[in-house]
Structure 1
Amino acid sequence: MNIIFAALGIWVIASLSIYSFIRRSERRDPEGKGPGIIAVTSALLALPVAAVMGGILFALAGSVQVVGWLFDLELSPGKVGIFAIAVLVYLFSADSLIELFLKSVMGKSAAGKWVLLFTRVLAFYGIGLLVGAEDQTALPVAAGLAVMLLVMEVLFHLLKKSGEGSVRKGRR
């Protein structure tokens, strides 16, 4: 249920942001649209944003549940939802900056991936403790989620590489 409310919150914030952007742009046009049309347009444009973010939250919450199930950990659904939302905020803010910093310092080496994995484990562990998970629960969940994200990134990179190779072969 937390995921639904989070997706609704994202939709409202995105709708208001798009509304204000369109409204500001329409002030320059003397034949601008009315506020009703702008509200409907902004609400419709915000739906894909909310759907994608809701899907990512759903995947994160599912990953946390799988790790909890594998290690037989006690996680309440409320804590899982709040943990997934906090991880999503971290991934789209601080993690992106840390990843850019590591790529600029270490390049695309395996050591950079290991350092990124370690920082994610620490960050997810801290988020787990902030959410209220016990030490015995927070560390396996943090490590499992960080490893799952690393595996997904590596698989995505390999899929992207194999797709580029097939396109090049098809052009010849």
Structure 2
Amino acid sequence: MNIIFATLGIWIIATLSIFAFIRRSERQDPQGKGPGIIAITSALLALPVAAMMGGILFALAGSVQVVGWLFDLEISSGKVGIFVIAVLVYLFSIDSLVEIFLKSVMGKSVTGKLVLLFTRVLAFYIIGLIVGAQDETALPVAAGLAVMLLVMETLFRLLKKSGKDSGSEGRRRRNV
């Protein structure tokens, strides 16, 4: 239920942001659109953003639940929701900066990936403790979620790379 409310909150914030942007742009046009059209347009433009963020929240919550099931951990759904929202905020803010810093210092090496993994485990552990999880629960959940994110990112990059390669091979076959 927390995921639904979080997604709804994201949709409302995105709608208001888009509305303000469009309204500010329309003030310069003397024949601008009315506020009703702008509201409908901004609400529709915010739907894909909210859907994507809701999907990410759902995947993170599922990953946390799977880790809890694998290690037989007791995690309440309220704590999972708050933990997942905090992790999402971390991933889209501080983690992006850490990842850029590590890529600039270490490049795209395996060591850089391991340092990023360790950083995520530490951050997720601290988030778990702030949310109120016990030490015995926070560490396995943090490690499991960080490993699952690393695996998902690696699989996504491999899929993206194989998609580019297969497209170029198909064009070569047609030309021959």
Fold match by TM threshold 0.5: yes
Matching residue's letter, 2:3:
I
Cross-structure match for 1:158:
158
User: 1:91 is aligned with what amino acid?
Assistant: L
1:79-118 matches, cutoff 5 A: 79-118=79-118
Deviates more, 1:54-63 or 1:152-161: 152-161
Q: Distance in 2 between matches of 1:35 and 1:50?
A: 22
Correspondences of 1:19-168 after superposition (within 5 Å): 19-168=19-168
Name the CA distance, whole Å, in 2 between partners of 1:133 and 1:52. Answer: 27
Q: TM-score, normalised by structure 1?
A: 0.99
Q: Per the alignment, in what secondary structure is the counterpart of residue 133 of structure 1?
A: coil
1:9 aligns to what? 9
The one-letter amino acid of 1:115's match is V
RMSD: 0.6
Q: Deviation at 1:168?
A: 1.4
- The percentage of counterpart residues that share the same residue type is 83
How far apart are 1:161 and its partner, in Å?
A: 1.5
TM-score between the two structures when normalised by the length of structure 2: 0.97
SS in 1 for 2:15: helix
Distance 2:138 2:62 in 1: 16
Q: Distance in 1 between matches of 2:141 and 2:89?
A: 17
Note the C-alpha offset of 1:52.
0.5
> 1:163 Cα shift?
1.1
Question: Unmatched 5+ residue regions in structure 2?
Answer: none
**2:132 and 2:18 mapped to 1: Cα distance?**
35
